[in-house]
Amino acid sequence: MLRPDDARRCVQAGAAAIWVSNHGGRQLDRAVPTAHALPPIRAAVGDEVEVYVDGGLRSGIDVMTAVALGARAAFLGRLPLFALSGGEPAVVRMHDELQAQLVEAMRLAGCRHPADTPGILAPGHLTGP
């Protein structure tokens, strides 16, 4: 889901959660990035439902950014699948590295808990060079 009006319709239909996703850009490479879609969707649904996100998340700072922009949880696709090719040790390493990255990003942002991150990023900070 990428549109706030669709999210509102889901809430009105009784949904308990909204999943913000652009299918990783595989289906339509010009789709709105989930990081851009997330804040208006969160604003449209408020705290009425859980909001989850996936798409392009590959690091701890990506996870922190997703939570800061309004997601309750962030889901990874490519990163754990690549780690699986290295067996259990690679999956454990991926998890440990992701956790360390998230902790470092939160410390640098002055946050002790993921719940402290909403509002630390301005939407204008999402655009690259």
Looking at the annotation, which residues are catalytic?
A: 23
Tokens of 68: 């800061």
Burial class (CB in 10 A: 0-12, 13-18, 19+), 80: middle
For 59-71, give one letter per residue: b (16+ CB within 10 A) or e.
ebbbbbbbbbbbb
CB neighbourhood size of 82 (10 A)? 13
